[in-house]
Amino acid sequence: MALRAEYPPPANSRPAGSPAAGRGLDWFNLFVANIQTGFGPFIAVYLISQSWTQTSIGLALSIGTVAAMASQVPAGALVDAIPNKTRVAAFSVLAFTGCALMFAVYPIPLFVYLAEVLHGISSCTLGPATAAMSLVIAGRFGMGLRLGRNARYAAIGNGVGALLMGACGQYVSERAVFYLTAAFTLPALVALLPLRRVAIAGRDLQPPPRQPGQGRAQFFRVLADRRLLIFCGCAMLFTFANAPMLTLMSGTMTAKVGNPSLLVAACIVLPQIIVAIASPAMGRLAERRGRRIVLMIGFCMLPLRGLLFATSTNPTLVVAVQALDGIGGACFGIMVPLIVSDVAARSGHFNLSLGFVGFAIGIGGTLSTPTAGWLADHFSMRTAFFFLSAVGIAAVMLVLAAMPETRPKIDADGQ
Amino acid sequence: MTGPCHEGGSRRPIAMSLVFLCALSACHTAPVVDRTPPKAEPPVSAGESPAPPPPLSPEEKPPEHAVEVPIETPAEPPELPPEAPPPKRRPKSRPEPPPAPPAAAPAPAAPDAEVKPLDNSVVTVLGKKVQGPKGEDMGRVVDVLADADGRVRVAVVEFGGFLGVGNRRIAVDWSLLHFNPDDQAKPLTLSVSRKKLQSAPEYKNSIQPQALMAPQAPVPPQAPASPQAPAPPQVPAGASTPSAAEGKK
């Protein structure tokens, strides 16, 4: 693309990280995923146990959603502006510690709302910071492999975190889950120690110094990049179709089986195992064969899963179908930072672009759950799944028809 | 680097949202302090008492256990209004007038409300754990619904799921919930088998919500309202699922 021509060829995009830094990033991904498990839908369960009313719980969760949505793009810009991404990551994790402690120690409205906002914002700074550290460690051409590894460790963290926290909530207390979450932030910070140097190493990855007055124009040029916009559309449709599937399905299944908690746990943990297994292969595939093929594999899982859910509610089959979610999740989780790094790695607006995609994903996720729930209530569960499958097919079509290949090697050849 | 401009741009929203938050939580505190009465329902049933009753009529009984709850027929609304007894409310951990003699008829000229010590047999229902007849975990009470007369009709129980995913909400007849008079900290007992609860339709805040109702003494669908026949505490109710009254107000 013409946009890239103004930059020198990526001579200095060689890996800058030591093996220790790579391992540190692995562990960091694992513990962050652990932490994030505690901040999921479990918050609603916890607030119920604290005698919160449904209205207040809904308000708290909405505040969190709005904060996360609103801070995606600004947080991306902020991370771009701060040279030391490791420090950003460390502060984000410290913010998580604060959130978890606020929930655990003093769950009054002010603190819960504050924690929700803080968590929304720091999630938005942490994601881009992690991606930026990966970029520095692996370089642009090793990014696919690195992200595959990130996704593997994050999946392990998610799975283990879900099991630990589920058990903790069940056998100890709801409150203990948040103490556990706070405790997990400590090893996450320790894992960042070998990454301290990354900030210095990353300096040669910074874009060429900006000419005065050029900033704003470039800002908009990056966001108006056709590839980024199309990918935002794809990501939004994917999330729209993906987000409500498990919630819808588990709601019906818990009516039928002997131990619903165990079944839902299986539905959550199995995909994480698949992600842990498949991610590195997907990262490699993306480097060798290009992004489009991986994107297609991941996106095709969606309509498939929707149609299978629409036709059967047999618990065993449902758990098996969740394996497809693992494959889809692996592909999508790697492709988001990878494609954004293809498009914007050297523009100086990598994190801003990532925030932009995150915003699109947020819109998809926020709109889809009420829509799917409404369809399930007013028509049937099957209708809702058919609708989600249709959206999934639309996402596949968009990738097929419009999404260009963004792998940098092809890009360089093309010019 | 494009530092300053973005940085400034992103701080302002944060600061603003903090202000917004404080404002929000300020509005919130009010409801929290006195959120206790379930669905505060000012509307005293239309044609009932001529005397203007103060919002907190002091003739309520302390909620000891479920036995006190008279069971009406499930398809209640038709026959209730005529002889509707005084609006009975369930006080929960709230400084309210203590039990006056349980008045059978609505006290006509209620004096002004006054502060009196509350006996501590009252419990917060919201968030209370619920267990089955065999002591199995059945989730927590998340909401309590009252009808137009202010009578608590059903409790909404949330159970199942894992880490908040896949939870189900079922509305259950208030009389199916049994309080433990000896130990307030203990969970409430729901005299419904877990299977029954699981297979009940999910409670939705829709036009026609459904609930698990206690069985009537015999089976007659609409016998004359017989306010006796408390639900036998430990019998797993072969509960039917007629639609609960009019759902949330």
ipTM: 0.76
CA atoms of B175 and A324, how far apart (whole Å): 45
Which residues are within 8 A (CB) of A58 and not within 5 positions of it... i.e. 6 or more apart?
none
Q: Which domain holds residue A275?
A: 217-415
Q: Smallest Cβ distance to B163: which of A40, A110, A121?
A: A40
pLDDT of residue B3: 36
The β-bridge relationship of strands B152-159 and B168-173 is: antiparallel
Share of chain B above pLDDT 90, in %: 1
Query: Is the pLDDT assigned to residue B227 strictly greater than 50?
Result: no
Name the closest residue on chain B to residue A68, using Cα atoms: B14
Same domain, yes or no: A350 and A388: yes
Q: How far is CA A182 from CA A36, A38, A60, A188, in A?
A: 11, 9, 20, 10
Tell the burial category of A291 from Cβ atoms under 10 Å away from its Cβ (0-12, 13-18, 19+).
buried
Domain count, chain A: 2
- Mean per-residue pLDDT over chain A, rounded: 85
Name the closest residue on chain A to residue B197, using Cα atoms: A255
pLDDT of residue B216: 67
Per-residue model confidence as pLDDT tens digits over A363-390: 999 999 889 988 988 888 889 999 999 9
Q: Which residue has the higher pLDDT, B62 or A284?
A: A284
pLDDT of residue B15: 57
Q: Which of A122, A221, A261 to mutate to test the interface with B (most CBs of B within 10 A)?
A: A261
Note the pTM of the prediction, 2 decimals: 0.72
Structural domain includes residue B166 = yes
Structural domain includes residue B136 = yes
Same domain, yes or no: A240 and A279: yes
Same domain, yes or no: A185 and A288: no
Which of A205, A239, A273 terminates a domain? The answer is A205
Query: Is the pLDDT assigned to residue A294 strictly greater than 70?
Result: yes
Q: Which domain holds residue B67?
A: 37-100+110-249
Share of chain A above pLDDT 70, in %: 89
pLDDT of residue A216: 66
- Determine the straight-line distance between the first and last CA of chain B, rounded to whole angstroms: 56
Structural domain includes residue A249 = yes
pLDDT of residue A256: 75
* Residues in A touching B142 (Cβ below 8 Å): 48, 54
Q: Which of A41-45, A126-130, B7-11 has the lowest mean pLDDT?
A: B7-11
In DSSP notation, A28-53 reads HHHHHHHHHHHTSTHHHHHHHHTT--
Q: Which of A264-268, B96-100, B108-112 has the lowest mean pLDDT?
A: B96-100
Q: Which residue has the higher pLDDT, B86 or B174?
A: B174
pLDDT of residue B217: 57
Structural domain includes residue A6 = no
> Which stretch, B104-108, B199-203, B229-233, has highest mean pLDDT?
B199-203
Per-residue model confidence as pLDDT tens digits over B67-86: 333 444 444 444 444 444 44
Query: Is the pLDDT assigned to residue A344 strictly greater than 80?
Result: yes
Name the closest residue on chain A to residue B167, using Cα atoms: A251
Q: Across the interface, do B10 and A71 touch by the CB < 8 Å criterion?
A: yes
Amino acid letter for position B186: K
Structural domain includes residue A139 = yes
* Residues in B touching A42 (Cβ below 8 Å): 163-164
pLDDT of residue B209: 76
- Label residue A316 by pLDDT band (50, 70, 90): confident
- Label residue A33 by pLDDT band (50, 70, 90): very high
Domain count, chain B: 1
Same domain, yes or no: A185 and A290: no
Q: Smallest Cβ distance to B14: which of A45, A59, A121?
A: A121
Structural domain includes residue A4 = no
A165 inside 8 A of chain B by CB:
yes
- Label residue A350 by pLDDT band (50, 70, 90): confident
Q: Which residue has the higher pLDDT, A255 or B168?
A: B168
- Label residue A403 by pLDDT band (50, 70, 90): confident
Structural domain includes residue A210 = no
- Label residue A199 by pLDDT band (50, 70, 90): low
- Label residue B26 by pLDDT band (50, 70, 90): low
Structural domain includes residue B25 = no
Give B152's strand partners: B146
- Three-state DSSP string of A59-105: HHHHHHHHHHHHHHHHHHHHHHHCCCHHHHHHHHHHHHHHHHHHHHH
3-state SS, residue A373 = helix
Share of chain A above pLDDT 90, in %: 48
Same domain, yes or no: A225 and A371: yes
Structural domain includes residue A8 = no
Query: Is the pLDDT assigned to residue A260 strictly greater than 50?
Result: yes
Q: Across the interface, do A56 and B9 touch by the CB < 8 Å criterion?
A: no
pLDDT of residue B14: 54
Find, among B197, B196, B198, B178, the residue nearest to B188 by Cα: B178
Find, among A240, A239, A234, A244, the residue nearest to A295 by Cα: A234
Structural domain includes residue A379 = yes
Query: Is the pLDDT assigned to residue B24 strictly greater than 70?
Result: no
Q: Which of A54, A118, A352 to mutate to test the interface with B (most CBs of B within 10 A)?
A: A54
Which of A171, A205, A239 terminates a domain? The answer is A205
pLDDT of residue B249: 35
Residue B159: its H or E element: strand B152-159
Domain holding A96: CATH number?
1.20.1250.20
Same domain, yes or no: A152 and A281: no
pLDDT of residue B6: 41
Chain A: closest CA distance from residue B230 (Å): 28
pLDDT of residue A31: 95
Same domain, yes or no: A58 and A201: yes
CB A113 within 8 A of CB B32: no
Amino acid letter for position A127: G
- Label residue A297 by pLDDT band (50, 70, 90): very high
Which of A152, A174, A205 terminates a domain? The answer is A205
Q: Which of B1, B6, B129, B197 to mutate to test the interface with A (most CBs of A within 10 A)?
A: B6
Chain A: closest CA distance from residue B165 (Å): 6
Q: What is the mean pLDDT of residues B100-107?
A: 51
The percent of chain B in helix, strand and coil, each rounded to the nearest 5, is 15, 15, 65
- Label residue A114 by pLDDT band (50, 70, 90): very high
Q: Across the interface, do B10 and A251 touch by the CB < 8 Å criterion?
A: no
Q: Which residue has the higher pLDDT, A140 or A390?
A: A390
Share of chain B above pLDDT 70, in %: 41
- Label residue A347 by pLDDT band (50, 70, 90): confident
A residues 257-286 near B, CB within 8 Å?
A: 260-265, 267-268
* Residues in A touching B19 (Cβ below 8 Å): none
Same domain, yes or no: A308 and A378: yes
The β-bridge relationship of strands B137-146 and B152-159 is: antiparallel
Domain holding B168: CATH number?
2.30.30.240
pLDDT of residue A2: 36
Query: Is the pLDDT assigned to residue A159 strictly greater than 80?
Result: yes
- Mean per-residue pLDDT over chain B, rounded: 61
